[in-house]
């Protein structure tokens, strides 16, 4: 198994509708081949701003690498770069 966890810190000037659309876009990756589980949600703690959590498990590192190189993921990364900064944790489980 391979774990991929991302914390997106949404920029303060981004509206809620755009955040909701981003969450929907990210959640669409749940059906990607090799994904075992996928959760995208807002953090309940907004003391330091709005944070979107993406927590994914892939069947293997290879499945993750295929996902990472997929054009849909590349487009999603560009979209998220417009509205957020992020921190990533990837590891073998």
pTM over 0.85: yes
Q: What's the CATH code of the domain at 43?
A: 3.30.70.100
The 3-class secondary structure across the chain, one letter per residue, is: CEEEEEEEEECCCCCHHHHHHHHHHHHHHHHCCCEEEEEEEECCCCCCCCEEEEEEEECCHHHHHHHHHCHHHHHHHHHHHHHEEEEEEEEEC
Q: What is the mean pLDDT of residues 69-74?
A: 97
| Percentage of residues of the chain with pLDDT beyond 70 | 100
Count the domains in the chain: 1
The whole domain housing 17 covers 2-92
pLDDT at 45: 96
């Amino acid at each position: 198994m391979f774990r991929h966890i991302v914390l997106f810190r949404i920029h303060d000037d981004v509206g809620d509708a755009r955040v909701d659309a981003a969450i929907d876009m990210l959640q669409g990756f749940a059906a990607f081949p090799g994904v075992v589980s996928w959760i995208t949600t807002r953090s309940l703690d907004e003391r330091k701003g709005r944070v979107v959590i993406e927590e994914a498990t892939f069947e293997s590192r290879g499945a993750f690498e295929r996902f990472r190189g997929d054009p849909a993921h590349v487009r999603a990364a560009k979209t998220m770069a417009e509205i957020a900064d992020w921190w990533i944790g990837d590891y073998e489980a």
